Amino acid sequence: MNTQDLQALSEAIDSGIINMTDVLDKVEDMTKKRILEQHEKFCSIWQASDGRFKTKLPDNNGCNGKKLIAKTSRENLEKCIVNWYKEIQKRQENPRTMKALYPAWINYKAEETTPANATKLQWVWDTYYRDSEIVKMDIADIDVVIMKEWFLKTVRKHQLTSKKYKEMKSLANMLLDYAIEKRLIGVNVARNVHGISYRKFTESHKKDETEQVYVDDERERLLMQAEKQYEKTGNVAYLAVCMNFFLALRVGEIVALKTTDFSADSVQITRQEVKEYYMDADGRRHRLGYGISPYPKSPAGNRTLYLSKRARKYYHMILNHNRCNGLEGEYLFMDGNGERLHDYAINNVLRRVNRQIGTPQKGNHSIRKTCISNMIASKQLTNEEIRKFAGHEDFATTERYYEFATKSLEERTDAFEAALG
């Protein structure tokens, strides 16, 4: 209907030519007729032998996806059918549910943070929220008790550890924060849920130090094996593994290194590899490929690292490899075609070498932890120097998550004897 038609209709109503009540009644009758016609395509209406009028409504929990309803008159049954379908439509159109808010919110998070973070949140949504009853409720009707009961039910259903619970709860925290920003609600009930007993959570397996860092002679055995594998295969990813025992880089930082980042005795860390995604017609994100971010993981990640003698040894081996193979790209680690290596190239060769030396499977993060732990144990550097080398905002993070004994208990018996006196 164009502007002229709307104006003519308004004038007709104002002048009394058209009765607005009659118009609304006519629209209501047409809506009722359309709903009933659509319903009878799904299930007919019949009068049973007891005199009552019956039909079946769609119901996922019912027998064959239907539920039986009965009324004493056809008029009452039709009224019940119309009201049922209207309520369903109302729920679907209600923008004040977590389910309705989710598509816009997940895109907002991708812009606010990163597409990779939005993809992690998508996994949390699909795992815990997508098919649950709470995401279909009007968010204004959800109080702290309802939210807490749902959290407890989800913890029990998925046998969540405390860490997994926090990961699950954080999505509700953020999504309802978004609802507040959209002025749909005034209070975030998820953030007001407290007091869930630790007894409700599944006990998490705490990894032993031998599973988190390379202990005793494992580092040296791995370095020797990686060098042998490089000589055998010519795969420079083995040298990346070796060099990182003396740089403690994140795997995305390793593959983003350029030759121009290096000087005689230092290397500048300024960028990282990131995963790229595309969004399909349903708003879901899928892996597309890899790119380079001109920013590190955090502001503290932008740092200058000292190149030790052993780090310089591997750096020059890599330069010589590139020169001998005619590789002239800007990145330090390249495949035989001159294309930049990706994180999986490093992870793959590390898994292979772990198997070959018979050590438990440990990833690049274990190399990072091993290097930082050795720096702390040396007592030669200040906490501030170690913090900067690790690329952390504060030393508390370094100390809490990256300080491990790199000697097994058997190798530390003398230390225990001396300490216990």
Instruction: Give backbone dihedrals phi and psi of 335, rounded to 5 degrees, phi first.
Output: -85, -175
Higher pLDDT, 63 or 194: 194
Q: For residue 34, is it within any domain?
A: yes
Q: For residue 358, is it within any domain?
A: yes
pLDDT tens for 298-322 read 899 999 999 999 999 999 999 999 9
Instruction: Give the least confident one: 186-190, 262-266, 407-411.
Output: 407-411
Task: Give pLDDT, residue 65.
Answer: 74
CATH of the domain at 185: 1.10.150.130
Q: For residue 27, is it within any domain?
A: yes
What is the residue-averaged pLDDT of the chain? 91
CATH of the domain at 305: 1.10.443.10
Asked if 55 and 43 touch (Cβ cutoff 8 Å), the reply is yes
The percent of residues in the chain predicted with pLDDT above 90, rounded, is: 72
Q: Is the pLDDT of residue 370 over 70?
A: yes
Determine the angle formed by the axes of helices 309-324 and 237-244, rounding to 10 degrees: 170
Q: Is the dihedral of CA 344, 346, 347, 348 positive or negative?
A: positive
**Residue corresponding to tokens 């009961």:** 149
Cα-trace Rg, the chain: 32
Contacts for 234 with CB less than 8 Å, ≥ 6 apart: 321, 325, 336
- Which amino acid is present at 326? G
Q: Which of 93, 127, 159 is the last residue of a domain?
A: 93
Q: What's the CA gap between 68 and 55, in Å, rounded?
A: 6
Q: What is the 3-state secondary structure (H, E, C) of 138-159?
A: EHHHCCHHHHHHHHHHHHHHHC
Averaged pLDDT, 369-375: 97
> 80 and 220: one domain?
no
Question: How many other C-beta atoms can be found within 10 angstroms of the C-beta atom of residue 368?
Answer: 22
Q: Facing residues of 8 across strands?
A: none
Distances (CA, A) of 184 to 132, 134, 180, 321: 21, 17, 6, 60
pLDDT tens for 87-97 read 777 655 556 89
Question: How many other C-beta atoms can be found within 10 angstroms of the C-beta atom of residue 242?
Answer: 23
Structural domain harbouring 365 = 211-269+298-420
Q: What's the CA gap between 383 and 118, in Å, rounded?
A: 34
Residue (of 272, 397, 257) closest to 334 by Cα position: 257
Asked if 128 and 167 touch (Cβ cutoff 8 Å), the reply is no
Going by the DSSP 8-state scheme, the letter that residue 198 receives in this structure is G
The percent of residues in the chain predicted with pLDDT above 70, rounded, is: 91
Q: For residue 286, is it within any domain?
A: no
Q: Is the pLDDT of residue 2 over 60?
A: no
> 321 and 415: one domain?
yes
Q: For residue 194, is it within any domain?
A: yes
Q: What's the CA gap between 331 and 224, in Å, rounded?
A: 25
Identify the H or E element spanning 266: strand 266-269
Instruction: Give backbone dihedrals phi and psi of 63, rounded to 5 degrees, phi first.
Output: -65, 125
The angle at the Cα of 96, spanning 90 to 102, to the nearest 5 degrees, equals 110
Q: What's the CA gap between 309 and 320, in Å, rounded?
A: 16
Q: For residue 107, is it within any domain?
A: yes
> 68 and 175: one domain?
no
> 246 and 107: one domain?
no
Higher pLDDT, 279 or 176: 176
Domain count, the chain: 3
> 149 and 24: one domain?
no
**Residue corresponding to tokens 């932008």:** 302
Q: Which of 169, 200, 231 is the last residue of a domain?
A: 200
> 230 and 340: one domain?
yes
Q: For residue 205, is it within any domain?
A: no
Q: What's the CA gap between 416 and 256, in Å, rounded?
A: 42
Pairing relation of β-strands 53-63 and 66-71? Answer: antiparallel
Asked if 351 and 251 touch (Cβ cutoff 8 Å), the reply is no
> 111 and 188: one domain?
yes
Q: How many helices (H) and strands (E) does the chain have?
A: 17, 7
**Residue corresponding to tokens 């929990």:** 61
> 195 and 223: one domain?
no
> 34 and 160: one domain?
no
Residue (of 378, 242, 254) closest to 317 by Cα position: 242
> 104 and 51: one domain?
no
Q: What's the CA gap between 187 and 247, in Å, rounded?
A: 46
Q: Which of 77, 93, 109 is the last residue of a domain?
A: 93
Q: What's the CA gap between 263 and 265, in Å, rounded?
A: 6
Identify the H or E element spanning 69: strand 66-71
> 70 and 148: one domain?
no
Of the pLDDT bands very low, low, confident and very high (cuts 50, 70, 90), residue 418 is: confident
> 61 and 151: one domain?
no
Task: Give pLDDT, residue 93.
Answer: 56
Averaged pLDDT, 323-338: 96
Q: For residue 7, is it within any domain?
A: no
